[in-house]
Chain A
Amino acid sequence: MKTCLIVDDSRVVRKVAARVIRDMKFEIKEAGDGSEALKICRDAMPDAILLDWNMPVMNGLDFLRALRREDGGKAPLVVFCSIENDSEHINEAIRSGADEFIMKPFDADILESKFAEVGLV
């Protein structure tokens, strides 16, 4: 079974996203900030990461840049998920190694279609 790490400081968002992604046959791991997520990735790289932008301790962009420098860190498909949805933020996320970008708010259809877009389902 593929694994998906959901990184968001909102427990509610993690819970809602987990329900949808679990239905897509993923095993779910959760982290509340980038630093916690990086530790999980160093332990075992997930197949997919759903990543929030604004988080305490380490934000999504810093996490993504750090992840891509790690051994095996280029492998996970990263779907950024943020309320910061202007062109500059989106381009910055892509330049930093995001494979897809979801603009919040989103629903199950969007999440599924974005996972499909990068070949995760």
Chain B
Amino acid sequence: MQDAVFNDLADLALQGSGQSISKSRAYLIEARLASIARREGFGSMDDLVHCLKSRANPVFKTECASALVSKDTWFHREREVLQCVIAEILPERLKAGNTGRLKIWVAGGSTGQEAYSLAMMLEDECPPVMRGAKIDILSTDLCLTSTERARAGVFGHYEAQRGLSIHRLMKHFVRNQAGQWEISDELRRRVSFRAHNLLQSAAGLGKFDVILCRNVMNGMARSARGRVLEVLADQMNPGAVVLTGERETVIGLTNRMEPMSELPGMYVAAGTANAAASAA
């Protein structure tokens, strides 16, 4: 790939999704845009770049930018973190909120496995104090196709068994005639999906008690990670907990959050960690 083409596409990734792609990973760009280039009939990445520059088509631009983001996810990823959300964080938030209602945001939720995992665990492992509580789960992703796939709740046999026990698969999914696995209507009703770019304000999504943004910021430029954290901070209800991936930190990127405990990847609003620890 020519330097000029790489630079244009790397800039598209940075502006569109905050992804920082180095020249040594140019192969990622080609791999992730290949199907779009084929579909549009472009003979090369040069043609695709030319089209992006000449056509003022924000939808196509977003599609290309979101194609450059990794969509890899699986059910019950870092299960112990999800178990902590279900067994500890949600009950504590419920008790503190006193409304009987909680809102969870899975930011950068890709094809929905993380949101559905939470819904399954709420069904199967719900602590007694949570019974009767109204828990809304919203999953958002930059990629429209991923969002639509998540909403459909249909998974191929590889995805369906990646992180899911056979018992959970049989309990919560039905195998359709095409041999794919469809999530139950009951779980589908528990989760809603919307397309949203984490670099943009999420004011329209409302405020949340728990925000999971795990393994989303890994490949992002530092400035983009800071921007995402500001967007998340804006949507925190009082006492809200933000969870990032274990290898992602907010330290040095925002002064609006601080570690909740010694556990990696859990944050609360700045100045409230001590209060959160005594409440727990």
Is the pair A113, B166 in contact by a Cβ cutoff of 8 Å? no
Q: A86, A90, A109: which contacts B166 (Cβ < 8 A)?
A: A90
Indicate if B152 sits at the interface (CB-CB under 8 A). Answer: no
Considering only residues 80-121 of chain A, those with a C-beta below 8 Å from chain B are 85-87, 90-91, 94, 98, 100-103, 106-107, 109-110, 113-114, 117
Count contacts on A: residues with CB < 8 A to the other chain. 18
Q: B74, B161, B174: which contacts A114 (Cβ < 8 A)?
A: B161
Residue of B with least CB distance to A102: B161
Indicate if B167 sits at the interface (CB-CB under 8 A). Answer: yes
Considering only residues 8-35 of chain A, those with a C-beta below 8 Å from chain B are none
Considering only residues 39-94 of chain A, those with a C-beta below 8 Å from chain B are 85-87, 90-91, 94
Is the pair B161, A110 in contact by a Cβ cutoff of 8 Å? yes
Complex interface: chain A residues within 8 A of B158 (CB): 106-107, 110
Is the pair A85, B162 in contact by a Cβ cutoff of 8 Å? no
Q: What is the CA–CA distance of A86 and B173 in the complex, to the nearest angstrom?
A: 12
Residue of B with least CB distance to A107: B158
Is the pair B175, A113 in contact by a Cβ cutoff of 8 Å? no
Indicate if B275 sits at the interface (CB-CB under 8 A). Answer: no
Indicate if B200 sits at the interface (CB-CB under 8 A). Answer: no
Complex interface: chain A residues within 8 A of B167 (CB): 94
Complex interface: chain A residues within 8 A of B162 (CB): 109-110, 113
Known: A110-B162, A117-B165. A87 touches B157 (CB 8 A): no
What 1/0 mask marks residues of chain B from 146 to 177 whose CB sits below 8 Å from any chain A CB? 00000000000110111101110110001100
Q: What is the CA–CA distance of A106 and B170 in the complex, to the nearest angstrom?
A: 18
Count contacts on B: residues with CB < 8 A to the other chain. 15
Considering only residues 214-273 of chain B, those with a C-beta below 8 Å from chain A are none
Residue of A with least CB distance to B165: A117
Q: A90, A102, A107, A109: which contacts B170 (Cβ < 8 A)?
A: A90
Complex interface: chain A residues within 8 A of B175 (CB): 85-87
Is the pair B170, A100 in contact by a Cβ cutoff of 8 Å? no
Q: B74, B163, B165, B170: which contacts A87 (Cβ < 8 A)?
A: B170
Q: What is the CA–CA distance of A107 and B74 in the complex, to the nearest angstrom?
A: 14
Known: A86-B175, A87-B170. A100 touches B157 (CB 8 A): no
Is the pair A85, B165 in contact by a Cβ cutoff of 8 Å? no
Complex interface: chain B residues within 8 A of A102 (CB): 161
Complex interface: chain A residues within 8 A of B74 (CB): 113
Q: What is the CA–CA distance of A87 and B74 in the complex, to the nearest angstrom?
A: 21
Complex interface: chain A residues within 8 A of B174 (CB): 87
Complex interface: chain B residues within 8 A of A110 (CB): 158, 161-162
Q: What is the CA–CA distance of A114 and B158 in the complex, to the nearest angstrom?
A: 12
Q: What is the CA–CA distance of A58 and B165 in the complex, to the nearest angstrom?
A: 27
Q: What is the CA–CA distance of A80 and B173 in the complex, to the nearest angstrom?
A: 19
Show 29 residue pairs from A and B whose CB-CB distance is below 8 angstroms, ordered by the A residue: A85-B157, A85-B175, A85-B179, A87-B170, A87-B174, A87-B175, A90-B170, A91-B170, A94-B166, A94-B167, A98-B166, A100-B165, A100-B166, A101-B166, A102-B161, A103-B157, A103-B160, A106-B158, A106-B161, A107-B158, A109-B162, A110-B161, A110-B162, A113-B74, A113-B161, A113-B162, A113-B163, A114-B161, A117-B165
**Given A87-B175, A90-B170; 15 other pairs, CB 8 A cutoff:** A90-B169, A91-B170, A100-B165, A100-B166, A101-B166, A102-B161, A103-B157, A103-B160, A106-B158, A110-B158, A110-B161, A110-B162, A113-B161, A113-B162, A113-B163
Chain B positions near chain A (C-beta within 8 angstroms)? 74, 157-158, 160-163, 165-167, 169-170, 174-175, 179
Ordered nearest first, which 5 A-B pairs have the shortest CB separation? A101-B166, A117-B165, A103-B157, A87-B175, A100-B166
